[in-house]
Amino acid sequence: MDSVSAVVLAGGEGSRLRPLTRNRPKPLLPAATTPILEHVFDQLLEAGVTDITVVVGYGRNRVQAYFGPTYRNVPLTYITQNQQLGSGHALLAAESEIDDTTLVVNGDQIVESRIISDVLEAHESDSAATLGLLNRHDVESYGGVLLEDGAVTEIVENPQDERSYRLNAGVYAFEPAIFDAIRTAESRVGEQSLTDGIVELIESDADVQGVVSEGLWVDATYPWDLLDVSFELFEAGLVDGRHEDSSAMIHESAVVREPVVIAPDCEIGAGAVVGPYACLGENVTVGSNAVVERSVIDTDTRVGASATVADCVTGVGVTIGNGTVIPGGPGDVRVGDRVFENEALGALLGDRVDDQGGSTYVPGTVVGPETNVEAGATVRGTLPAETEVRS
């Protein structure tokens, strides 16, 4: 195709990523130091996409303010999904913008450009849909696809049996027939699913093809997954293993261990050790003799002198006081009534947590935004927003 249009579904909140998504949508969370959605746009452009429609919903004003009307000279058209009623509902919101073959991707998963290119090259106009698939063992938490001679015969959400499933990578080329299929499909309680629309196409004997590809595919389901997402971007070479912005101030006695990303206006003090696998967002300060490794530290965060921070994810505007210790995982993380055992998480600190120093975090700790941690406290468990932790 000479002109390639894409629809990016970026209207969801990412509720399982709370507390990080309390103030912003999942597509704006950092992968390394760059919003997930920005990585999505980069890979679309790498695959030859020439215009992009973005379906926004939760936090839409923040998305539009961040990216504006264009991205790298490619026009962005924003469509609002007023209620988040599923991926199919999100695509229906963009129907007025589509009258021909279109590419559809998720705005909260990073998919390498070669997967996108393979879908575009494999799609033929007499097919109603072409799905990008991957040979992956871990399909249980996602969509499993059965393929026979290039044709998709069945899609199963969260498959549990032993059949030879491929992972649905969430990259689709659709003809306009998908819209009627979504409307016709029996909707689930409270939502219209894109997958159900594809199943409707299959059951109506429309031609639905699948192409097995290779390349990076990463998704953050829970907040600590942002660590793995960032690390995989390093390993795949999609993030430079030694990136220091020219505006960063790094003391001559500080040690920077690759791979690492240091965003603009960061400051690293004397004797500090940063990395490996450290991602410092804009305007992060690391105090003298502090250690930061295997962590994603978001914008405007302060790591105090002699603090130790490992396997940590922070929101924006966090203060980690002098001498505080976040020793790293593994730890058991409680989310609601579910416990995730032995996760590689030292601590998750929501937006504007204020740690006054000398504190110790038990591995697996999750701290809600706007929480105040008194000096010398021991912090453990999952704490709601605006908690006062006393020493």
User: Does the predicted TM-score (pTM) go above 0.85?
Assistant: yes
In angstroms, the Cα distances linking 332 to 142, 205, 378 are 23, 47, 16
Read off the tokens for 300: 């405007």
Asked if the bond preceding 330 is cis, omega within 30° of 0, the reply is: yes
Whether 245 and 263 have beta carbons less than 8 Å apart is answered as yes
Which pLDDT score, from 0 to 100, does residue 1 have?
Answer: 52
d(CA 90, CA 278): 35
The dihedral built from the CA positions of residue 140, 143, 146 and 150, taken in this order, carries a sign that is negative
Handedness of CA 130, 124, 54, 95 (dihedral sign): negative
Q: Which residues pair with 157 in a beta bridge?
A: 143
- Cβ contacts of 308 within 8 Å, gap of 6 or more: 290, 291, 324, 325, 326, 327
| Residues near 180 by beta carbon (within 8 Å), at least 6 away in sequence | none
CATH superfamily, domain 242-389, is Hexapeptide repeat proteins (2.160.10.10)
What is d(CA 174, CA 87) in angstroms, rounded to the nearest whole number? 14
Residue pointed to by tokens 């990076």: 216
Whether residue 330 contacts residue 344, with contact meaning beta carbons closer than 8 Å, is answered with yes
DSSP for 267-320 reads EE-TT-EE-SSEEE-TT-EE-TT-EEESEEE-TT-EE-TT-EEESEEE-TT-EE
265 SS3 class: coil
171 - beta bridge partners?
105
**Token duo for residue 288:** 């003298």
CB 198 within 8 A of CB 173: no
SS3 state at 197: helix
Note the pLDDT of residue 2. Answer: 65
The residue whose two tokens read 């579904």 is 9
The candidate with the shortest Cα–Cα distance to 261, out of 246, 247, 281, 285, is: 281
In angstroms, the CA 22 to CA 37 distance is 17
Nearest partner of 344 among 225, 217, 171, judged by Cα: 225
Domain ranges in the chain? 5-219, 242-389
Distance CA 223, CA 230 (A): 12
| Model pLDDT, residue 208 | 93
5-219: CATH homologous superfamily? Spore Coat Polysaccharide Biosynthesis Protein SpsA; Chain A (3.90.550.10)
One pLDDT digit (tens) per residue for the chain, 391 residues: 567 889 999 988 888 888 999 888 999 999 999 999 999 999 999 999 999 999 998 989 999 999 999 999 999 999 998 887 888 889 999 988 888 899 999 999 999 999 999 999 999 888 999 999 999 877 777 778 888 888 899 888 877 777 888 888 999 999 999 999 999 887 777 788 888 899 899 989 999 999 999 989 988 888 899 999 999 999 888 887 777 788 999 999 999 999 999 999 999 999 999 999 999 999 999 999 999 999 999 999 999 999 999 999 999 999 999 999 999 989 999 887 889 999 999 999 999 999 999 999 999 999 999 999 999 999 999 999 999 999 8
Give the whole-angstrom CA distance, residue 354 versus residue 207: 56
HSE-up (13 A, CA, CB side) for residue 258: 9
* Positive or negative: CA dihedral 124, 125, 127, 132: positive
Residue 149 confidence (pLDDT): 87
Residue 50 CB-half CA count within 13 A: 4
* Cβ partners under 8 Å of residue 302, min gap 6: 284, 285, 287, 318, 319, 320
23: tokens are 């103030």
